[in-house]
Structure 1
Amino acid sequence: MTTVLITGGAGFIGSNFVDYIDRHHPEYQIMVLDALTYAGSMDNLPYGMRELDNPRMRFWYGDVVNAELVDTLVNEADYVVHFAAETHVTRSIFDNRLFFQTDVLGTHTVANAVLKAGGRVKRFIHISTSEVYGTAEAPLIDEEHALKPMSPYASAKCGADRLVYSYWATYKLPATIIRPFNNFGPRQHLEKVIPRFITSVFLDEPLTVHGSGGAARDFVYVEDVCRAIDMTLHADGALVDGEVFNVGTGEDRTIASIANDLTALIGTPTTRIENTGDRPGQVIRHTADYDKIRRTLGWEPKVSWQEGLRRTIDWYRTNEDWWRRQLWMRHIPIVTAAGRREYH
């Protein structure tokens, strides 16, 4: 069997990718490594992951910085897709040390394991983020845009991103870096803006918007991101080794407009929307130029904003037991840009 190792596979994008590979490559063996932190759960994974004798699916509970464990798993893998990371901007302001430990040292551990595997791994895909760019300095952000991370989370991911590139440059690892813009879809933790807004409506709570709500992001549906990763995984190395690819839609929308779109789709008055203090290190705008991956691999987003939003709302509406367990994690104490202590 061809074996795919997916680190952080019990998290949001990782679990959606596990599901994608399960559906599109039933002949593959899937290994998941996850530390099951607050953002990861076995409930995100196919039930087959819980069967000890399943020949297609294996779950390993462990930390991505555990070199001995990572070395062992990588030595059994044909492909490695590295999602494992701390990912929440606001949480990184509150508790930044863990972000550098997991995001940078964890990536270092995985990259070293791929190197030590001695050519066994056909492709190593590192999942980076558009946050490494900071605020857009042009109408669209391409892969050559300057890297100016504006939060501890973004700087940790930037360090991991460049570390992987250096392993390709130095050791010619078959490594590719994917920089997704803002993902949304099923199984996303309530700390993120879209599930937080959706569940706030369901709970009859205010929808709290940072600052004026004018910060704009390019939101891409998670299934489109999984398809981009899959296409990169199986591409000719001459096309993707050592390359960076943006994955987005080329359209941005403000946080205020997202709150308005959600209230309109669910049928809740906009008077429920409230503004809080602005977050420190706030990125003003991210908009993807995804022309490189379109030209190289033929990838384009397929799921529209409205369709993705409808699917996401429907998932949270029918999976209340899943998200109610996360309610206590939705808000984080920080000092705002204006110096006030607030829960975001």
Structure 2
Amino acid sequence: MTYKVAVVGATGAVGRELLRILAERDFPASEVAALASARSAGQKVSFGDKKILTVQNLETFDFTDWDIALFSPGAAISALHAPRAAAAGCIVIDNTSHFRMEPDVPLVVPEVNPEALRKARRNIIANPNCSTAQLVLALKPLHDLFRIQRVVVSTYQAVSGAGKEGMDELFAQTKGSFVGDAPRISQFTKQIAFNVIPHIDKFMPDGATKEEWKMAVETRKILDPDIRLTATCVRVPVFIGHSEAVNIAFESKIDLKAAREALRAAPGIILRDEREDGGYVTPIECVGEDATYISRLRIDETVENGLALWCVSDNLRKGAALNAVQIAETLISMGLVHHS
């Protein structure tokens, strides 16, 4: 059986990645529509190596008779058009933050909580924040073994998390630094080239940023409402690939060998933990890869039942586009897509 699939936000970084991944994975699509704003309508985007799609206007697009819509256009646009698509009978998988914490919208990483897909009452399913997606992949097998009490995570997030404009700003500032140009700052609060910025998204009343809040509440919704999590989210001058330093406190005593075996066997994870120079994975090595990589696994002696690890993933793939496509694949395999 094949399905009609619409990609919303097709001209953006994640939208283009969605189209690329659909083609790479030979998704069973009989037809694919590329949708974006009126100003982008008429542009051409690639679908696989040979096919070119003409971008259509999202505002006038009729979702009737379309089976799946992969949304990545920005939260305000999803808020307006995702319910319209869902009401037309199309299953919406939304990459934005708008629906994530709504109680009747499942927040899903297929390797972690696929059964939540059965609770999609509104035809809308949410994709988690990119930094959360890779984190819960790493936490799930360890939580099953030892039960997590508390997580402390520091992120090192690539500029692509801020979209194409963020990547362009890093490129322009880096290039300009070699010819003496003053850095032009528009996408970030401070210069990003040769710098790190401990600020992603808006500040909240308690001093945390919304990105840090998202990691805590999304992890609890996906994995376990009793997990306590504190995050410090930092933007770094890397184009693609989020990294995380994670410290975990568990209820029960850690068996490091069992932890290694659980991570090695977990879907979506590659464990590369060699205690030697270069025996770990860095962001540049994960670009274009589907897996989330775990390295630097070790006991944390500063807390009872503590474990530390390093986690790296391509934020445009598993953090966004790949996870959305995997949700669609899982819906099909579970018989939850009703063919139009």
Q: TM-score, normalised by structure 2?
A: 0.41
User: Larger Rg: 1 or 2?
Assistant: 2
TM superposition score normalised by structure 1: 0.41
Which protein has the bigger helix share? 1
